[in-house]
Amino acid sequence: MLIDAKVQEGFEIARKSRENAHAPYSNFQVGAAVKFKGIDKIYGGCNVENASYGGTVCAERTAIFSGIIENAKQEIEFVVVSVDTNPVTVPCAFCLQVMSEFASEDMPVYLGDLESIKKKVLFKELLPMPFNTLDC
């Protein structure tokens, strides 16, 4: 798979961010990276679990929130996820719904392990019908 330099940089950030995950309950460490359109910086995130479980935040959301804190609402250009599973895993439905606020249906989501990106999917393939109160 041909990966451009920015996506490769995102993968490296996701993989490195994964090392900071706090996952004492699931032992499932996840790293993510998010690039927003028109912004050069790529934001990393890791999952942070909590004994209350409801207080747990996924890697994808921590990366998105970090970018929004610095830049306000922006459209996401791409997301990269790094895990140590085979096959690689996709973002959970909670994260996909959060992404839907900031992503076009054709936004690429890159899925990787600890070695490289293994798969590219479009956001609409992962969440074809996001909840949107504006359409109700």
Place 5 in a pLDDT band, splitting at 50, 70 and 90. very high
Residue appearing with tokens 């969440």: 127
pTM of the model: 0.95
Place 135 in a pLDDT band, splitting at 50, 70 and 90. low
Place 26 in a pLDDT band, splitting at 50, 70 and 90. very high
Q: Torsion angle of alpha carbons 3, 34, 47, 71, nearest 10°?
A: 160
DSSP run (H or E) holding 46:
strand 42-46
Strand order in the sheet with 42-46: 42-46, 31-36, 76-82, 108-112, 117-122
Residue 136 scores a pLDDT above 60: no
Q: Which fold has domain 5-135?
A: Cytidine Deaminase; domain 2 (3.40.140)
Are 34 and 67 spatial neighbours (Cβ–Cβ below 8 Å)? yes
Residue 102 scores a pLDDT above 80: yes
The confidence score (pLDDT) of residue 133 equals 67
Active-site residue, 60 included: yes
Q: Which tens digits make up the pLDDT trace of 75-91?
A: 999 999 999 999 999 99
Give the mean pLDDT of 15-28.
Answer: 98
Q: Identity (one letter) of the amino acid at 131?
A: F
DSSP string, 68-85: HHHHSS--EEEEEEE-S-
Q: Report which of residues 115 and 133 the model is more confident about.
A: 115
Are 63 and 93 spatial neighbours (Cβ–Cβ below 8 Å)? no
Angle in degrees, 0-180, between the axes of helices 5-18 and 59-71, rounded to the nearest 10: 120
Q: Choosing from 19, 60, 70, 75, which is the catalytic residue?
A: 60
